[in-house]
Amino acid sequence: MPVTVPSDGILPLRGPAGDVSPRIRPRIQRLPTIDQWNATVQRQVTPTLNVTIGYVGNKGTHVFAGNGPAYNTNEAAIVGGTNLYACLDPGAVGNPSATQFKCTGTSFKPLGNIPTSFRRRLFLNGVPAFTYPNFPGITCCSDSPGDYFGNDADNKYNALQVKVEKRVSHGLQFLAHYTYSKAYFYDGGYFSVDKKFAWGPDDYNRNHVFVINTVYELPIGKGKTFMSGAGRVTDLLIGGWQVTNTLNYSGGLPFTPSIGECGQISDAGPCRPNATGTLKTGTSRDSAGNLLWFVPLPSGALGTVFSDTNLTGQDSCALARPTSGVFALPACGQIGNVRRNSYRGPRGFYSDMALSKTFAITERYRAQFRFDAYNVFNHPVLGFNGSQGNTCVDCGGDSGVINHIENNNSPGSPSGMRQLQFGVRFTF
């Protein structure tokens, strides 16, 4: 529909109705590039067996931050003293409740000489709405100036790859791969404020992956190593059997621990604890029988800064920071020293198997019966990672609980429940 132009001839950034999300790009557009390199050594061990060892690396430049294509360029800074906003006792007397000491509403107060203008970099530093100084009557904006298509991030990948290949001999062949890799990239969250807090392992990188595919034709039946002189009837029963298997054993997907009391340290995320030790991960059961990946802290363990006394007017940021287990509440205006994706979820184990029997009806006609078993051991791949899991260490409820198997759990998928399949095929 036609757009009504204001009398001053200037259109607001978010459109006449304020419902348009602006898209922003840098003045100079740079194409994403990738540099790749590798070195490989191969050794023939036997006439049918060879081993290959290689190093593979690459680096992406001018790529998306996170999963792209854009990120917020106007996040609130909460690191290095750029947004030291404190939680104050709102002035309660008598027996204050814990909820009175959350950093909400007017309880924020800038500390020291840190100016309010450092809260956000753009649009008058985070003021929810304002009028352009040079354009009277035009109001803008929300906390974000829109999606910034920067293409200004990097990523890298380094891997040791080992391959063992056996060509067919005595009915056996296999191909085995092992990869030890590290894939790192910048997440879009907090990238515009301090890149080092957005840097970490790729969300989908399993740093250890072992895969082997095996095909074995059983050496039994006419012309084989065992019972090679079997008659036709006997060979129909014992000959022509073949077993195949594909097995994958992999490391877990990464995740970042979080805490439930962001309000005690800042008015914006990310929100991570300080680590005083290493969180122990691994499956266990709590008293209710829930399956855990880590034992969580008591609910709100890092959120109690005030005691049950009258602390009217005191600055919570000046009080000792709570600690529990291997974590502590960060200082006000700090993210926490736990790095992004610094922990790993449960390992992956997948195994598919097939058993087939070939019948030689005549020289021209053959039939094959096949039995396939997907996830033959019915082994669940537990879902606990950055996109699927209760990674908060002190939120109570489902903290640390594994509620699901890994995503992509439809029948026949690598992580789905066991599925059996039968089939018959004729060839001529």
Q: Where are the domains of the chain?
A: 32-72+153-427
The answer, as to whether pTM is greater than 0.85, is no
Tracing tokens 């001999």 back to the chain, one arrives at: 169
pLDDT at 36: 97
Res 244: pLDDT: 95
pLDDT of residue 78: 67
Strands (E), 147-207: 147-148, 153-169, 172-186, 199-201
pLDDT at 86: 39
The C-alpha torsion from 323 through 324 and 329 to 335, rounded to 10°, is: 130
- Token duo for residue 276: 């005083």
CB 332 within 8 A of CB 317: yes
Question: Which strand (E) or helix (H) includes residue 124?
Answer: helix 123-126
Residue with tokens 């190093």: 55
The first and second tokens of residue 378, run together, are 């019915």
Find out whether 107 and 60 touch, Cβ atoms under 8 Å. no
**Would the pLDDT of 24 be above 70?**
yes
pLDDT in tens, 363-395: 788 888 999 998 899 888 899 998 888 999 999
| Tokens 């039946």 found at | 221
Closest CA to 346 of 393, 285, 388, 297: 388
Span 51-109, pLDDT tens digits: 999 999 999 999 989 887 888 887 766 644 333 333 433 333 333 333 333 333 334 44
Instruction: Of 154-158, 274-278, 308-312, 412-416, give the lowest mean pLDDT range.
Output: 308-312
Phi, psi (deg, nearest 5) at residue 352: -115, 140
**pLDDT higher than threshold 50 for residue 283:** yes
Q: Please provide the size of the chain in residues.
A: 428
H or E stretch covering 425: strand 419-427
